Structure 1
Amino acid sequence: MKQNQIRNFAIIAHIDHGKSTLADRIMEQTQTVSERESKAQLLDDMQVEQAHGVTVKSRTVRNFYQADNGIEYEYNLIDTPGHVDFSYEVSKSLAASDGAILLVDATQGVQAQTVANLRLARENHLTILPVINKIDNAAAEIEKTEREIRALGAEFSKAKIFHISAKTGQGVHEVLEAIHQVFPAPTGSVLMAAVKCRKMAI
Structure 2
Amino acid sequence: MKKLAVLFLLVGKIAFADSPLTSIDFYKAYLNVPMVKKAKASKGKMTPEIMTFLVDEENQQAEKLAVINALGWNHKYRNSKRFRNYIIKTKRYRSDFGGKYTAFLWNATANELVFYAYLSALENYGQPLDALEYLEKAMEKVPKDLNIKLVYELVRSQVYYETGDRLLAKKNINKVLMAYSEIESDTHFDMSALRYFYDFLNYLLHHDKK
TM-score, normalized by length of structure 1? 0.33
TM-score, normalized by length of structure 2? 0.32
| Larger radius of gyration between Structure 1 and Structure 2 | 2
